[in-house]
A and B are shown apart, each in its own frame.
Chain A
Amino acid sequence: MRITVTVDGTSYTDDVEPRTLLVHYLRERLGKVGTVVGCDTSNCGACTVHLDGHSVKSCSVLAVQAHGSEVTTIEGLARDGQLHPVQQAFHDNHALQCGFCTPGMIMQSIDLLSDNPDPDEHAVREGLEGNLCRCTGYQNIVKAVRDAAHHMRPGAGPEAERVTGADTGSRTASSVGGGGE
């Protein structure tokens, strides 16, 4: 099947097998190997990307379902060498060790912050329940997400993730940045 997908700001048109998972399309066809696979039961969240501005586990989405959509991966977050505030916060708070869960954690954290710009510890822990990390014990991840929230208050952070194209639930910088409240 022929699909057209915008990934990290670039549009791609490809023939894919109907059964191809989005994560395999990203990794194997587009070379977007920043997004990784940690399980085969949709439990680990390592593969999390944004599909039209919302986090999805890309191992649970078919490539054909992404047709006409906009996908953002960990590789598309930094703008002009400027890290996304959540990326920066993960670094600043030592929220990663081996880094394998990190792409998914960061993508899920951004989604969490767009729903709740000022989550307390409990809300962060609940919001990241679908993403497993074996290295950090989560404490610094929780800290990083709350730190990012702080930096993303309106006017505090750089422009967050760009979402081109019209509606389909796409988010704006201000909603990511906490202005949507």
Chain B
Amino acid sequence: MTATIEPEVGKGRLRKEDERLITGRTRWTDNLTLPGLVHLAVLRSTVAHAKIVSIDTSAAKEMPGVLAVFTGDDLDPEGKIGMPCAWPITPDMKSPRRPVLAQGTVNFAGEGVAVVVARSAGEAEDALAEIDVEYEDLPVVLGLENALAEDAPLVHEDLGTNRNALWVFDSGEAGSGGNVEQAIADAEVVVKRRFRQQRLVPAFMEPRACVVDPTAAQLTMWSATQIPHILKTMSALTLGLPEHKIRVIAPDVGGGFGGKIAVLPEEIMCLLIAQKLGKPVKWTESRSETMVAAHHGRDQIQDLTIAAKRDGTVTGLKVELLADMGAYLGLVGPGVPILGAFMFNAIYKIPAYHFACTNVFTNTTLTDAYRGAGRPEATFAIERMMDELAAELGMDPMELREKNWIKHDEFPYTTVSTLTYDSGNYEAATQKAMELFGYEALRQEQRERRERNDPVQLGIGISTFTEMCGLAPSRVLGSLDYGAGGWEHAAIRMLPTGKVEVITGASAHGQGHETAWSQIVADQLGVPFEDVEVLHGDTQSSHKGLDTYGSRSLAVGGIAVVKATEKVIEKARKVAAHMMECSEDDLEFSGGKFTVKGTDRSTGIGDIALAVFAAHDLPEGVEPTLDSEAVYDPENFSFPHGTHLCATEVDTETGRVRIRSYVCVDDVGKVVNPIIVEGQMHGGLAQGIAQALYEEAVYDESGTLTSGTFADYLLPSAADLPSFTTDRTETPSTTNPLGVKGVGEAGTIASTPAVVNAVVDAVRQFGVNDIEMPLSPMRVWQAIRTGEKAAGGPGAEAGGGLGSIDPAHGGAQ
């Protein structure tokens, strides 16, 4: 007799996490206080490039409450400590040492120069003003092409170049496709474009913070990080500390979006100073510090050449990138644009492909992962390019895509960039999206508005995207020279009372792992959802893991959980057979019970857990535990895909853009929790749309970040975004037992080109074929008037973008 229980996976469970978050009972790192806690404040360089002539800390040391002031030389007299970069993309990549605090020179405005330790945060802050730093200006290197110019000054004199690395993939050489130069030479149509991926700020809402307690047996660090496990190992390696003497805890973390994948100089500083003083220390940054000191994202110049036949068949794609690393290399910074190498060919069958990326140093904040990391950039460029090619050929842009995409019966499909897409159905997602959107009716309205010269023109933007998720198969990371693997760990503890503790190496910071993992385990073990507790983010309880980024948690970490439960069931099966005096082969497990086939005799997993705990009568040679762990290394990436359609109204008299409707149909494989999936889509869309319309980190000619606060950096508010229509198709991944693919980055990756394509489509009849992001009213207006795509200044001046959605309440007041 098997009770039919409704499966948990697929259910829209409300989140377990919420209770503490909606009542203010949250544990942010900055909430923490310890006996004798002292506070750090970091003095940051106001100049982008200079020699440090002298630092006088004597007056600061006399300030009330101040315990100590340290410079880089004080903390690291031999100049040996360098912040780690785990992704040397080529053997000859140039890696400057990034000190804990600047030593000798400062290389970007915002770099730490000295640190004050005081009894209160306020006193530490006050004392910063008393530190006297004398700088001798060096020429500031800004802009990718400037940095590569023949006679350009150098960011790092000792490297002899501003070129960090050149990474190349060529399908002709790899044997995965033809020669792109040949394809271009033979092409009936060639379209070339240059796109600019502006620099963005990840802008997680919780500023970064770190507490280190040196008074316990292990040196304990709490940090607002996405990567507690990596941070632990990297801290040990960076400082030569014994790894078993370090414990890292990521408590509640207020968002990350890639921005908290880092090993911070401030974290290393906290470790050094806590040990030096023998006291617990805390560092919490202000938002203004986050803006200049936390890594930025994107910042590329993309040159694309696409070759095609007149009938629209794409015959070749050549991609040449320049990617701004900033002044130093982040933890995975150099590899971010390289992730894009596998995504420019997107969902299309492209016979010849060449990709070359030059990473470049400039005197700016370093860049590293930001939601999508390399894949949004690639998707943007290819989806913009498909629209440009369609315009050149006079074809409907959807028809062009359809002509070139991989058909649903062609999976598994190995692409020109050597990835094997396991599954997908672009036709199904597209058809559903077109219906929800009312594609034909909107095209009709567009024609009418054009004919009557309506001051408000309508544009339709398409983005049919895929992405590689579930970072990553360790062997692939190895072949890309990444410094670690891509597996994930999980463990199950079966408690004597039948409750279950699940330990995961994926470290959530808002995604909802506690809820989703509980659903998975409830199904696997047949226990109630409420009886499962998920533990994560503390290297003491969750001792092994590679953390959360790259939409990997479910597709890798979730599968590790499944594998661990399978081991629990196998252990329990032996005991159940013993308890019921039958052969293991006669047992079937379902709904939390082992039943002897063909009878109604059964034993529940909770009873077995109790029997194992008592251990009075176990079969010969069986250890008294059901607890199990598993480490899962995926054999392939997963490939979510979707069709995003955006309709924009562009006021040709003011340049104002209004998103009239946004429809997306995503295929993220099997869904564990549809509510969480939808939430991830919404948030992702908001960030992608924000790149298209609002956000840009802008530097002035002296290297000062002029959009360095939330008053200047245009993070959209509720009033600046539309409601989205989201829907799904479900083509299970065939490479993991849950059939899941990952959803964390999809919305961000897909939406930016959909919006920009829509705006360009609205004004193409004025001779416009590109407008640089963000598409501020000024830029759009200027493009319509002059065809100048980057016109109207940086576009991030206060009020330049906000309010585009809603004319009645526009502008940043």
**A residues 32-55 touching B (CB-CB < 8 Å):** 32-41, 43-44, 46
User: Do residues B683 and A92 form an inter-chain contact, with CB atoms below 8 A?
Assistant: no
**B28 contacts A by Cβ under 8 Å:** yes
Give min CB distance, A85 to chain B, whole Å: 12
User: Do residues B24 and A94 form an inter-chain contact, with CB atoms below 8 A?
Assistant: no
Interface bits A135-159 vs B (CB < 8 Å: 1, else 0) = 1111111100000000000000000
User: Do residues B710 and A43 form an inter-chain contact, with CB atoms below 8 A?
Assistant: yes
User: Do residues B14 and A99 form an inter-chain contact, with CB atoms below 8 A?
Assistant: no
Q: A126-B719, A137-B747 are in contact. List 15 more A-B contacts (CB 8 A).
A: A38-B207, A41-B287, A74-B23, A75-B23, A90-B22, A94-B676, A97-B255, A121-B723, A125-B721, A134-B205, A136-B683, A137-B683, A137-B684, A137-B724, A138-B718
Nearest B residue to A98 via CB reads B510
Nearest A residue to B722 via CB reads A139
**A residues 10-60 touching B (CB-CB < 8 Å):** 17, 24, 27, 32-41, 43-44, 46
User: Do residues B686 and A137 form an inter-chain contact, with CB atoms below 8 A?
Assistant: yes
User: Do residues B253 and A98 form an inter-chain contact, with CB atoms below 8 A?
Assistant: yes
Which residues in A have their C-beta under 8 angstroms from that of B676? 94
The contact of B28 among A33, A121, A130, by CB within 8 Å, is A33
Once A43-B709, A129-B717 are accepted as A-B contacts, the answer to whether A134 and B204 lie under 8 Å apart by CB is: yes
Assembled-state Cα–Cα distance A108/B719 (Å): 14
Interface bits B1-33 vs A (CB < 8 Å: 1, else 0) = 000000000000011011111111110101100
Interface residues of chain A: helix, strand, loop or mixed (majority): loop
Chain B: interface size category: 35 or more
Which residues in B have their C-beta under 8 angstroms from that of A35? 24
Assembled-state Cα–Cα distance A34/B24 (Å): 4
**A102 contacts B by Cβ under 8 Å:** yes
Once A34-B26, A78-B23, A138-B686 are accepted as A-B contacts, the answer to whether A94 and B253 lie under 8 Å apart by CB is: no
Assembled-state Cα–Cα distance A24/B19 (Å): 24
User: Do residues B22 and A96 form an inter-chain contact, with CB atoms below 8 A?
Assistant: yes
Most central of A91, A130, A131 by chain B CB within 10 Å: A91
User: Do residues A138 and B255 form an inter-chain contact, with CB atoms below 8 A?
Assistant: no
Assembled-state Cα–Cα distance A180/B61 (Å): 57
16 A–B pairs (Cβ distance < 8 Å), ordered by A: A37-B30, A40-B709, A43-B709, A74-B23, A77-B23, A90-B22, A94-B678, A98-B206, A99-B18, A100-B254, A122-B806, A134-B203, A135-B679, A137-B683, A141-B718, A142-B718
Give min CB distance, A80 to chain B, whole Å: 13
**A128 contacts B by Cβ under 8 Å:** yes
**B528 contacts A by Cβ under 8 Å:** no
Closest 5 A-B residue pairs measured CB to CB?
A: A34-B24, A98-B510, A99-B21, A100-B254, A137-B686
User: Do residues A129 and B24 form an inter-chain contact, with CB atoms below 8 A?
Assistant: no
Nearest A residue to B802 via CB reads A129
User: Do residues B22 and A102 form an inter-chain contact, with CB atoms below 8 A?
Assistant: yes
Nearest B residue to A78 via CB reads B23
Which residues in B have their C-beta under 8 angstroms from that of A90? 18, 22
Once A39-B710, A134-B204 are accepted as A-B contacts, the answer to whether A99 and B510 lie under 8 Å apart by CB is: yes
Once A94-B676, A129-B719, A138-B721 are accepted as A-B contacts, the answer to whether A106 and B22 lie under 8 Å apart by CB is: yes
**A residues 68-116 touching B (CB-CB < 8 Å):** 73-75, 77-78, 83, 87, 90-92, 94, 96-103, 106
Give min CB distance, A145 to chain B, whole Å: 10
Which residues in B have their C-beta under 8 angstroms from that of A173? none
User: Do residues A137 and B721 form an inter-chain contact, with CB atoms below 8 A?
Assistant: yes
Which residues in A have their C-beta under 8 angstroms from that of B97? none
**B682 contacts A by Cβ under 8 Å:** yes
User: Do residues A83 and B17 form an inter-chain contact, with CB atoms below 8 A?
Assistant: no
User: Do residues A41 and B255 form an inter-chain contact, with CB atoms below 8 A?
Assistant: no
Assembled-state Cα–Cα distance A129/B17 (Å): 26
Assembled-state Cα–Cα distance A107/B126 (Å): 31
Assembled-state Cα–Cα distance A133/B710 (Å): 12
Which residues in B have their C-beta under 8 angstroms from that of A78? 23
**A124 contacts B by Cβ under 8 Å:** yes
**A132 contacts B by Cβ under 8 Å:** yes
User: Do residues B255 and A91 form an inter-chain contact, with CB atoms below 8 A?
Assistant: no
The contact of B22 among A43, A91, A98, A129, by CB within 8 Å, is A91
Give min CB distance, B160 to chain A, whole Å: 40
**B715 contacts A by Cβ under 8 Å:** yes
User: Do residues B288 and A40 form an inter-chain contact, with CB atoms below 8 A?
Assistant: yes
The contact of A40 among B286, B687, B717, by CB within 8 Å, is B286
Give min CB distance, A48 to chain B, whole Å: 12
Nearest B residue to A138 via CB reads B718
The contact of A137 among B22, B207, B510, B685, by CB within 8 Å, is B685
Nearest B residue to A145 via CB reads B718
User: Do residues B21 and A139 form an inter-chain contact, with CB atoms below 8 A?
Assistant: no
Nearest A residue to B679 via CB reads A94
User: Do residues B709 and A41 form an inter-chain contact, with CB atoms below 8 A?
Assistant: yes
Give min CB distance, A113 to chain B, whole Å: 15
Which residues in B have their C-beta under 8 angstroms from that of A122? 806
Most central of A39, A90, A128 by chain B CB within 10 Å: A39
Which residues in A have their C-beta under 8 angstroms from that of B685? 137
